[in-house]
Amino acid sequence: MTTCGRGLRRALGASPRPTWRRALSDTRGRLKPEYDAVVVGAGHNGLVAAAYLQRFGVNTAVFERRHVIGGAAVTEEIIPGFKFSRASYLLSLLRPQIYSELELKKHGLRLHLRNPYSFTPMLEESAGGKVPRSLLLGTDMAENQKQIAQFSRKDAQAFPKYEAFMDRLALAIDPLLDSAPVDLEAFQRGSLLQRLKMLSTLKPLWQAGCILGAQLPRYHQVLTAPAAKVLDQWFESEPLKATLATDAVIGTMTDPYIPGSGYVLLHHVMGNLEGIRGAWGYVQGGMGALSDAIASSATAHGVSIFTKKTVAKVQVSSGGRVQGVVLQDGSEVRSKVVLSNASPQITFLKLTPQEWLPEEFVARITQLDTKSPVTKINVAVNRLPDFLAAPNTPRGQPLPHHQCSIHLNCEDTLLVHQAFEDALDGLPSKRPLIELCIPSSLDPTLAPPGCHVVSIFTQYTPYTLAGGKAWDEQQRNAYADRVFDCIEAYAPGFKGSVVGRDILTPPDLERVFGLPGGVSSYRTGGSRHSFPSLSLHLHSLTCPDVPTWLYLGPPHPALGRKRGQGQRPQQREDRDRVSCRQWGRREEM
Ligand SMILES: Cc1cc2nc3c(=O)[nH]c(=O)nc-3n(C[C@H](O)[C@H](O)[C@H](O)COP(=O)(O)OP(=O)(O)OC[C@H]3O[C@@H](n4cnc5c(N)ncnc54)[C@H](O)[C@@H]3O)c2cc1C
């Protein structure tokens, strides 16, 4: 970090004074006319970038459009007394080094790990007074096998082998998240020296290949084939296959029969929480508490964060130098470096003066399809859902399955496929795919005593309805009622327990969170510019064809010289920490 810090400081002409000293003398909250760096947007990734920059001695300000920080990782009390992770709700892909280097625990981050983590109740006639079956999965393999054996003994035997197979793939891919992406363009168009240098970026890929070894062709299939095909090779029972298949389609306008859905099966085993591979958990206080912890770490080192400050434009001089930003209220803030946490569309089509971007690149951003099929419904209830397949205790206390991702309309892969097909015709699914979570079952700070917050992630809902119609209040409510009817079938009494609800269709997600198309993962519309969404690592957002991070600044030996678009900082340490692309100058300095 030290070498990197020096490089960045030199590049930006920033003061070598220790950041903690500067933090003390800064008046936080008061807008200054100039900063070393400006970050557009206080989503958790923008906050992480700001925190690291400041630790390197780069005096950084963050400007957020909304009244609250966090972007899609936010907690909002939409219904009095009930705190919702209003968009994103489960944490896993937080890179462990960010957790420790930004001292997030010290800054208040508390996690609730979930075990068991997945519950799929069946809708079946109960014969002889028996409750319907359900599939409960957790970290205890023997218990998982017992659960699966209810549906297929063969699958129960295959499951540990499948998990080991996927674990190996996750193990191979995990280090790639922390390495600089391979710059294919430099390979194709760079000088011989540049190409040779680029070879070093292939090392992590080579290492991943070594881990996968002779099984590489089978793993290649996971990354490219339809999830249903991958799962059919392992299992025969539908409840297990459909439960696993939800991981392959979650947040995405795709279905398990579409090629490429297989690789998202990895989400099941990727990630890491408190050293446990594949664990997904709740953040105490909701997802906004994660953003708050990052912000606290950042401000402790001197970052200034401003809310209700929309950036309207990045200013670039006639010579192509970035000069800062203009806020919507007309104020100008000077800065030699601007990083954007906003979407690629906002960053490159709205904020950046178009004359500094190659036409071909602008065309590619314009064509990005980030339309999401997700409608998120946040619900306040006055008692826990009581599932036919796992009845509540008389006192209604949380049971193990309440802490899980509860998969509804998921007992058969064809159900998922049918839900997808409905949406292709511009109709919200008749039986939507539902992932229901009750974070208050582990975190009582979220709701009044005895009450709960229920997070309902549903798909498929087209961004634009059949006939080009936009969503209106009636359609929004009709869809939510349909989702509630589905839940009621699995857990009678649910509808009667509802105290309030917040319905966010794709256009609502776009409006509230500034996510074009309502995107919930950068893998939509059949195209694949994907990296795990909440990875909290800058590299994961600089995928080769869609740089969501924008660096507009002066060329400097420490940051690398550039010619045209897309060259990265040359200095290894800088590149590792601040993976950003340089745009804005056409001539070599
Ligand atoms: C409904 C939903 C559920 C999800 N669930 C999960 C989940 O459970 N787990 C998971 O890992 N991922 C989940 N995701 C994905 C994840 O939340 C996002 O990928 C992640 O939050 C993106 O973070 P970010 O910081 O990169 O961007 P964002 O969170 O989008 O932050 C960008 C910020 O920039 C601000 N901004 C935009 N334009 C301007 C401007 N001109 N001026 C100033 N500020 C501006 C925005 O207001 C916003 O605060 C979910 C996403 C959605 C939509």
Which tokens is 93 given? 């892909």
Which residue lies with its CA nearest to atom 5 of ligand 1? Answer: 88
Q: What is the pLDDT of residue 186?
A: 67
| Residue 111 parent element (H or E) | strand 111-113
Could you tell me the pLDDT band of residue 11, with boundaries at 50, 70 and 90? low
Q: Encoding tokens for residue 326?
A: 């203009």
227-234 vs 238-249: helix crossing angle, rounded to 10: 150
Task: Give the model's pLDDT for residue 155.
Answer: 98
* Distance in Å, CA 261 to ligand 1 centroid: 22
Q: What angle do CA 227, 480, 372 make, to 5 degrees?
A: 40
pLDDT at 18 over 60: no
What's the confidence (pLDDT) of residue 290? Answer: 97
pLDDT digits (tens, 9 = 90+) for 237-271: 999 999 999 988 888 888 999 987 877 777 667 77
| Distance from the first to the final alpha carbon of the chain | 27
Residues 46, 51, 54, 59, CA torsion sign = positive
Mean pLDDT of 547-570: 30
435 torsion bin: left (phi>0), alpha (psi -120 to 50), beta (else):
beta
What lines the ligand 1 site, CB under 6 Å?
40-46, 63-66, 71-73, 87-90, 93, 310-311, 341-342, 346, 374, 376, 509, 513-515, 520-521, 533-534
pTM of the model: 0.85
> Where does the pLDDT of residue 127 fall: very low under 50, low under 70, confident under 90, or very high at 90 and above?
low
- How remote is the CA of residue 42 from the centroid of ligand 1, in Å? 9
CB neighbour list of residue 541: distance below 8 Å, 6 or more residues apart? 45, 531, 535, 548, 549, 579
Which tens digit of pLDDT belongs to each residue from 199-230? 777 777 777 777 777 777 777 888 788 999 99
**166 touches 174 (CB < 8 A):** no
**Could you identify the atom of ligand 1 that is nearest to the CA of residue 312?**
41
Q: Looking at the predicted structure, is the pLDDT value of residue 172 above 60?
A: yes
CA–centroid distance, 88 to ligand 1, in Å, is 8
What distance in angstroms lies between residue 343's CA and the mean position of ligand 1's atoms? 9
Distance 412 CA to ligand 1 centre (A): 31
Query: Which residue puts its alpha carbon closest to atom 10 of ligand 1?
Result: 534
Mutate to test the pocket of ligand 1, among 62, 65, 326 (most ligand atoms within 8 A of CB): 65
Give the pLDDT confidence of 351-389 residue by residue, as tens digits: 988 888 888 888 988 988 888 899 999 999 999 999 999
Pocket perturbation via mutation, ligand 1, pick of 534, 538, 543 by most ligand atoms within 8 A of CB:
534
Cα(212) to centroid(ligand 1), Å = 33
Q: Which of 44, 78, 88, 306 to mutate to test the pocket of ligand 1 (most atoms within 8 A of CB)?
A: 88
The pLDDT value given to residue 409: 96
Is the pLDDT at 563 greater than 50, yes or no?
Answer: no
Ligand 1 atom nearest the C-alpha of 515 is 30
Q: What is the DSSP letter of 580?
A: -
Q: Look at the chain and count its residues.
A: 589
pLDDT score recorded for residue 22: 36
Choose one of 90, 533, 540, 548 to mutate for the ligand 1 pocket test, by most ligand atoms within 8 angstroms of C-beta: 533
CA–centroid distance, 239 to ligand 1, in Å, is 32
For residue 369, the model assigns a pLDDT of 84
Of 584, 582, 587, whose CA–CA distance to 569 is shortest? 582
Mean pLDDT, the chain, as a whole number?
82
The pair of structure tokens assigned to 237 is 């029972």
Find the range with the poorest average confidence among 3-7, 300-304, 387-391, 449-453: 3-7
The residue contributing the CA closest to ligand 1 atom 21 is: 72
8 Å CB contact between 516 and 369: no
Interatomic CA distance for residues 377 and 545, integer angstroms: 32
Q: Please give the number of the atom of ligand 1 that sits closest to the Cα of 63.
A: 43
pLDDT band at 344 (very low <50, low <70, confident <90, very high): confident
* pLDDT for position 285: 98
Whole-number Å distance, alpha carbon 487 to ligand 1 midpoint, is: 27
What tokens were used for 5?
Answer: 């810090």
Domains identified in the chain and CATH numbers: 2-71+289-368+526-582 (3.50.50.60), 140-277 (no CATH)
Q: Closest ligand 1 atom to the C-alpha of 46?
A: 25
pLDDT at residue 473 tops 90? yes
Tell me how far the alpha carbon of residue 347 lies from the centroid of ligand 1, in angstroms.
14
Residue 396 has pLDDT above 70, yes or no: yes
Average pLDDT score over residue span 410-417: 95
- The helix (H) or strand (E) run that includes residue 23 is helix 19-25
Contact 197, 191 (CB under 8 A): no
Q: What are phi and psi of 70, to 5 degrees?
A: 115, -20
Does residue 294 surpass a pLDDT of 50? Answer: yes
* Nearest ligand 1 atom to alpha carbon 533: 19
- pLDDT tens digits along 43-99: 999 999 999 999 999 999 999 999 999 999 999 999 999 999 999 999 987 888 899
| Percent of all residues in the chain with a pLDDT value above 90, rounded to a whole number | 57
